[in-house]
Amino acid sequence: GAVVSQHPSWVICKSGTSVKIECRSLDFQATTMFWYRQFPKQSLMLMATSNEGSKATYEQGVEKDKFLINHASLTLSTLTVTSAHPEDSSFYICSAGPVPETQYFGPGTRLLVL
């Protein structure tokens, strides 16, 4: 149990385009999901908290207009990177849990912006 999926696993896009990443909880419902970013050889940094039915909460320094988060249902959260630039290239990972106290992670999405 407690499986989290992400789609796509890899995406390459041109600078200036937008990219949508999906995070799904497959066997449980989650009112809260988290989005993290991981740069090469670094740890995970929380970007935002996605709350079903309400606006996302962004960490300090994360541009909410650039990283749009929509928690459309109790099993789906999406992260849209708008007008992507090469510096947005990173590994994006989401997490969710049947209870917030224990988080399970998706397999991650590798974004490369050319």
Partner 1 sequence: AQSVTQLGSHVSVSEGALVLLRCNYSSSVPPYLFWYVQYPNQGLQLLLKYTTGATLVKGINGFEAEFKKSETSFHLTKPSAHMSDAAEYFCAVSDLSGGTSYGKLTFGQGTILTVHP
- Binding region for partner 1 (CB under 8 A): 4, 6, 32, 34, 42-46, 49, 51, 54, 57, 91, 93, 95, 97, 99-108, 110
| Residue 14 beta carbon to partner 1: minimum distance, rounded to whole angstroms | 22
**Least distance from partner 1 to the Cβ atom of residue 36, Å:** 8
Q: What is the 3-state secondary structure (H, E, C) of 25-88?
A: ECCCCCCEEEEEEECCCCCEEEEEEEECCCCCEECCCCCCCCEEEEEEECCEEEEEECCCCHHH
What number of residues does the chain have? Answer: 114
What is the smallest separation between the CB atom of 56 and partner 1, expressed in angstroms? 9
Nearer to partner 1 by C-beta: 28 or 91?
91
Q: How far is the CB of 102 from partner 1 (least distance, A)?
A: 6
66 versus 100: smaller Cβ distance to partner 1: 100
For partner 1, give the closer residue by CB, 20 or 105.
105
SS3 state of residue 13: strand
Closer CB to partner 1, 82 or 103, in the complex: 103
